[in-house]
Chains A and B, each alone.
Chain A
Amino acid sequence: MDEHDERAMTALFQRLPTEPAPPGLRDVVMARIARERVRRAPEAIVAAALALPSLLFLLWELTVRVDLGAAVSALFDALSTEGQTGELVFVVDGLMVLALAMVGLAGVLLTHALLADVERRELRPVSITGR
């Protein structure tokens, strides 16, 4: 019973006319793929160029140059003693500030790339049927 019902429905669907895909489909799809690759690459390269040396420098600073334990204890010492007089002085290496700024810039670029990607995904497709 169900089988017959299925066969009847299949026979009906097989009789329905099918249409060829629009002639420009292949070219439009490939053009969009090519555009995506071109757009995405430079942003990622610039972000990586900014972030990687800076991150390596920060890592080197923290592991080789800076004694993190001593720095933290000095900070607490300063807080406990200097807090009474209201004077607390920090000295930060200029290169470290630059490295942090570059990591931040890379983060902004990467965020932009990701947001632009979402935007591209929501864009209306290119018309290929001559509307």
Chain B
Amino acid sequence: MEARLRTDQEIVQACLAGDSEAFAALVERYGDRVFNLALRIVGDRDAAADVAQEAFIRAYRALHQYDPSRPFTPWLYRITTNAGINYAQRWHAHEQPVEELPERPTSDASNPETIAVSRQELGTVLEAITALPPRYRAALTLRHLYELSYQEVADALGIPLGTVKTHLFRARAALRAELERRGIRRSS
């Protein structure tokens, strides 16, 4: 069967049955997403390539632990997130720990406003995201770039649902504060 037409679960079954080459289809299918998730977490292209590579190798080694009754991507994102956070913690040990971040930004961030940024300012947004702790970056990326549900984000990060909500609330607040610090204002 053409690899592109097989489901993730079928490919995993093939790998577990000894056809390790079938795993290439999963790398092709999710390479971009894994790489971009890694890129958001570690904030560096070379490091993201290393993390993506490591994530796929770890996923291959752990295929027997994957539950085929559940979607494949949150499981893969979880491995990628762990690899990315490990990498970031190893190479950026000086970063501010999660607990020290403000629960709310300095100004009121709860107003129903949008974040207006020009194309040129997107680079600044990326820098602001990179300034957040890796776990916040991962939660924001999974929720707002890949649009996972809260439960899927919880599965991907391996933390309880309630903690995810708290993490995301604080992460959004911290990002807004960071954006304001860099001169990007919200508009109504």
Contact = CB atoms under 8 A, between A and B. Distances in A.
> In which size bucket is the chain A interface?
35 or more
A33 B20 contact: yes
Interface in A3-56: 4-6, 8-22, 25-26, 28-30, 32-34, 37
Interface string B111-146: 111110100001001100000000000001101110
Interface stretch (A63-71, A81-89, A93-101, A123-131): A123-131
A92 interface: no
A35 to B, nearest CB: 10
A30 B126 contact: no
B16 interface: no
A19 B57 contact: no
B53 A25 contact: yes
Given A19-B45, A129-B49, A9 B115 contact: yes
A1 B111 CA distance: 7
A125 B172 CA distance: 32
A68 B180 CA distance: 80
Nearest to B44: A129
A21 B31 CA distance: 6
Nearest to B175: A9
B141 A5 contact: no
Interface of B: 20-21, 23-24, 27-28, 31-32, 34-36, 39, 45-46, 49-50, 52-54, 56-57, 60, 109-115, 117, 122, 125-126, 140-141, 143-145, 147, 169, 172, 175, 186
Nearest to B184: A12
A96 B171 CA distance: 65
A38 B13 CA distance: 21
A contact face: mostly helix, strand, loop, or mixed: helix
A127 B18 CA distance: 27
Interface of A: 1-2, 4-6, 8-22, 25-26, 28-30, 32-34, 37, 124-129, 131
Given A19-B35, A20-B32, A21-B32, A30 B21 contact: yes
A29 B110 contact: no
Contact of A128 (B32, B53, B60): B53
A22 B36 contact: no
A72 B60 CA distance: 50
A33 B36 contact: no
A6 to B, nearest CB: 8
Given A29-B57, A128-B49, 19 more contacts: A1-B110, A5-B109, A6-B144, A6-B172, A8-B113, A8-B115, A8-B186, A9-B115, A9-B143, A13-B140, A15-B122, A18-B36, A19-B35, A22-B52, A25-B52, A29-B56, A29-B60, A124-B50, A127-B46
